[in-house]
Amino acid sequence: MRIVEEYNDLQVDLIEIKSAKYIGDFAIRIYFNDGANRLVDFKHFLESSLHPSIRKYLDEKMFKTFELVDGNLNWNDYDLIFPIDNLYEGKL
């Protein structure tokens, strides 16, 4: 017998965020379309930034306003956005 083609039900061509839930203290649980999920802590990134347009998201009420747009986390019409592969690896 010879395997001609392998098939994986969860195989995807493009990693996207399927859903995301704010956990608290600037951490978001992110669920990806391949079945993986990550708890990503954004606090250190926000606190270490010197740029005012990023630091404004240290206001937790503002940080929690993210939306899913085209399979990615998006704050305030692309005011703040991260590469999906960084989120997938859980690294900012």
Q: Which domains does the chain have, with CATH numbers?
A: 17-89 (3.30.2020.10)
> For the purposes of burial, counting CB atoms within 10 Å of the CB of 17, is it exposed (0-12), middle (13-18) or buried (19 or more)?
buried
* pTM of the complete model: 0.84
- Cα atoms in the Cβ-side hemisphere of radius 13 Å centred on 49: 15
pLDDT of residue 6: 47
Alpha carbon of residue 31 to chain centroid: 8
Instruction: Give the whole-angstrom CA distance, residue 57 versus residue 46.
Output: 7
- Residue 13's pLDDT band (cuts 50, 70, 90): confident
- Tokens at residue 75, please? 């704050």
